[in-house]
Amino acid sequence: MSSQEIPEENLPDEQAAAHGAVEPAHDDPFADPGLPAHKPRIQDIDERAAKRSERTVATMFLLSMLATVGFIASYVIFPVDKIVFIFPFGHVSALNFSLGLTLGLALFLIGAGAVHWARTLMSDVEVADDRHAIEATPEVKAKVLSDFADGARESALGRRKLIRNTMFGALALVPLSGVMLLRDLGPLPEKKLRKTLWAEGKQLVNMNTMEPLRPEDVVVGSLTFAMPEGLEEHDEDFQTQIAKAALMIIRIEPDDIKDKREREWAHEGIVAFSKICTHVGCPISLYEQQTHHVLCPCHQSTFDLSDGARVIFGPAGHALPQLRIGVNSEGNLQALGDFEEPVGPAFWERG
């Protein structure tokens, strides 16, 4: 069918205008928005085709109704235990099969009818929704400014200086409440991370026997763990303190000690190093007698205890701190001060 045969009320505006029915709009600044030329559907131009589509849609809705009736009837017709053979599903429950089939059909036909209706009979005219201007008009701007000025005048903010100033003061101080809450994060650590319980004169206590350590208790080839005297397991901060103060004690032939400071800080070849790995703080426990290497089990950092506990392998960034030790008048091993470097993970530069 050519456009000559199309009723004018069914033609798009441009074509209708060409026939003299409608004046095309000329005030649109975007005369061609880029849409393809509108093509009328057969149902738009042929009433018989439109009727056919209407009947098709109505048929689908009618069939859906029948399927729903079939769904209800299935409950009455089929006993629960009735089994039937249906190709290609095999043996299935007649009731379940019919319920599923009828309900599926009822829903599908409603959807298919709606889609066919929308595609063939509902309006398919492309609609362009023009964006309105974003900037407010001068009148609106003037109205906003005048409303603001009215509000300011009515609130007397300019005149009541006392209220204005105290209000600003109150608003400025309120956030301080939030700052005060930061106090709940606990006290500042200050120097606590750099200090341990070790101090001059503190005796070394064997962590297994809880007895003061004597030089004769430490034999070549053995590894002993020690902590400061006075620290008890039931102390409230026991874990915090032991995590910083735990020691590894070994004895090395003095001539085998390569590091000069280590030799000077030892007592007759007995050396005391922090047990806390300088990588991320695991307790070190594996000792290799022949080489005097200790190994951290967490990430395999290895330290040479005969050479200032320097790192010979692994991710640790610093040597293990050494504690200077001696013997007191009772013949027990004692500290001659605190560690000179922070123990544990090297989160800070050594000071």
Binding site for ligand FES (CB under 6 A): 277, 279-280, 282, 296, 298-299, 301, 314-316
Cα–Cα distance for residue pair 168/156, rounded to 1 Å: 15
* Between 314 and 337, CB nearer to ligand FES: 314
* Whether the Cβ atoms of residue 285 and residue 239 lie closer than 8 Å to each other: no
* Whether the Cβ atoms of residue 97 and residue 38 lie closer than 8 Å to each other: no
The torsion angles phi and psi of 283, rounded to 5 degrees, stand at: -75, 130
Structure-block tokens of residue 346: 């090297």
* Between 44 and 304, CB nearer to ligand FES: 304
Q: Which residue has the tokens 């003299």?
A: 20
Question: Taking the complex as a whole, how short is the minimal distance between the CB of residue 295 and ligand FES, in angstroms?
Answer: 9
Cα–Cα distance for residue pair 332/270, rounded to 1 Å: 12
| Alpha carbon 32 to chain centroid, angstroms | 48
* Between 109 and 277, CB nearer to ligand FES: 277
Which of 198, 264, 254 lies closest to 226 in space, CA to CA? 198
Question: Taking the complex as a whole, how short is the minimal distance between the CB of residue 332 and ligand FES, in angstroms?
Answer: 30
Question: Taking the complex as a whole, how short is the minimal distance between the CB of residue 225 and ligand FES, in angstroms?
Answer: 16
* Between 109 and 311, CB nearer to ligand FES: 311
Question: Taking the complex as a whole, how short is the minimal distance between the CB of residue 324 and ligand FES, in angstroms?
Answer: 24
Question: Taking the complex as a whole, how short is the minimal distance between the CB of residue 344 and ligand FES, in angstroms?
Answer: 9
* Length in residues, the chain: 351
* Between 301 and 306, CB nearer to ligand FES: 301
